Amino acid sequence: MTEVVQSPVARFTLRDDGAAKVTATDREPEQSPSRVVLVRPHQFTPNPETAADNRFQQRMLEALLPSAVQGAVQRAALESARRVAGAAYAEVTELGRRLEALGIGVDLFDDHSAETPDSVFPNNWFSTHPDGTVTLYPMYAQNRRGERRADILAHLQETYRVRRVVDYSSAERFGEYLEGTGSMVLDHRERLAYACRSRRLSPGLFSEFCRDFGYSPVLFDATDGTGAPVYHTNVMMSVGTELALISSELIRDHSQREHVLGVLRDSGRTVVDLGVEQINRFAGNCLELNAHGQRYLVLSTTAEQSLTGEQRERISEFCTLVPVDVSTVEAAGGSVRCMIAGNHLPSR
């Protein structure tokens, strides 16, 4: 039997099938998941609906698609689009292969649709939690809302111990958005939620999420060199088990900057501060994963090449660097962390 409880924004679906029940005390929260979900696009292309506030995407488009940008003939543009789609497909395939080779569980789903150009970034529309919760999120761009897939949700419910589904997606009707673990960086262990203000994150909905899940909010402002808000928190910071990477320089207000750094350090993290140019090369868009007690920091080759020798040494004290080439996907404004939806659900 399934019980559905309505709230003004979130919809909670509670499973009452005995075997699927799990409590928060069943499992210690793990910051680094050992399983992930990937979505492999067959018709990948940078999303025109998200380019307005994604400066990473704007910078990459001309370099990746010069024929389209410079007004080449239609045939050449179509051939360029086919090459881009094929390259993105290959990059997700290789990412999944690399993770599996490390011993990380991978659930890989294909997307054949041309209507969901950003489906390669599933961490924005759902997240999973160690207490058996799956959360669905409201998306800013209309053409991203179709990324929410019933088959992926059903697979999680059938394969893992899902106690409840919390659905905030109805907030889209009111112009409220919260794009999952793109707009928030979650510290599962210390119950902290880091978030920078942007049009992809509504502060009221962020506060509601924190109340519902028992996180303490750490809300701040971050802007790039032009003064534009950083569109997603996970492009400028990453929180692992003992290590945190962040570009504190993007937090222009000194008191906010010191507060965020203080919270990170008080949580027991060693902080590696990244420069703005390193953020432009996706060094902040990384994710710590674990397999058989070994921690890995997965990031793009673009990001890894931007690190200094000192930063590499510091990171290597806590985890092994795993660079993966996703340069085509990076043209859509996100990198490796955006491509990975961590699976924190308990096994059956």
Q: What digits encode the pLDDT tens for the residues 287-322?
A: 999 999 999 999 999 999 999 999 999 999 999 999
Q: What digits encode the pLDDT tens for the residues 45-75?
A: 875 555 454 454 444 445 544 444 444 445 4
Rounded to whole angstroms, what are the CA distances from 90 to 42, 95, 112, 139, 325? 10, 9, 14, 26, 10
Rounded to whole angstroms, what are the CA distances from 132 to 24, 165, 282, 310? 8, 9, 31, 39
Helix H segments across 15-149?
55-64, 66-69, 74-102
Phi-psi region of 164 (alpha: psi -120 to 50; beta: other; left: phi over 0): beta
Name the more confident of 76 and 6. 76
pLDDT at residue number 271: 98
Task: Give the whole-angstrom CA distance, residue 52 versus residue 117.
Answer: 15
| 341 contact partners, CB below 8 Å, separation of at least 6 | 36, 37, 38, 122, 123, 126, 127, 128, 181
What is the model's pTM?
0.87
Among the ranges given (67-76, 140-149, 216-225, 331-340), the one the predictor scored with the smallest mean pLDDT: 67-76
Q: What is the arithmetic mean of pLDDT over 238-254?
A: 98
pLDDT at residue number 315: 98
Question: Over the chain, what is the mean pLDDT?
Answer: 88
Task: Give the whole-angstrom CA distance, residue 127 versus residue 18.
Answer: 23
Residue 184 in this model has a pLDDT that exceeds 50? yes
Give strand pairing partners of 165.
13, 134
Beta carbons of 16 and 340 less than 8 angstroms apart: no
pLDDT at residue number 48: 59
- Tokens 């179509």, residue? 78
| 95 contact partners, CB below 8 Å, separation of at least 6 | 38, 324, 326, 336, 339, 340
pLDDT band per the 50, 70, 90 thresholds, residue 29: low
pLDDT at residue number 12: 62
Q: Give me the percent of the chain exceeding a pLDDT of 90.
A: 76
Name the more confident of 227 and 341. 341
pLDDT at residue number 81: 75
Domains assigned to the chain: 2-18+30-343 (3.75.10.10)
pLDDT band per the 50, 70, 90 thresholds, residue 260: very high
Compute, in degrees rounded to 10, the torsion defined by CA atoms 68, 72, 75, 81.
-20
Rounded to whole angstroms, what are the CA distances from 240 to 54, 177, 182? 25, 25, 15
Residue 24 in this model has a pLDDT that exceeds 50? no
pLDDT band per the 50, 70, 90 thresholds, residue 225: confident
Quick check: helix, strand or coil at residue 24? helix
Residue 245 in this model has a pLDDT that exceeds 70? yes
Q: Tokens at residue 252, please? A: 């222009």
Beta carbons of 314 and 290 less than 8 angstroms apart: no
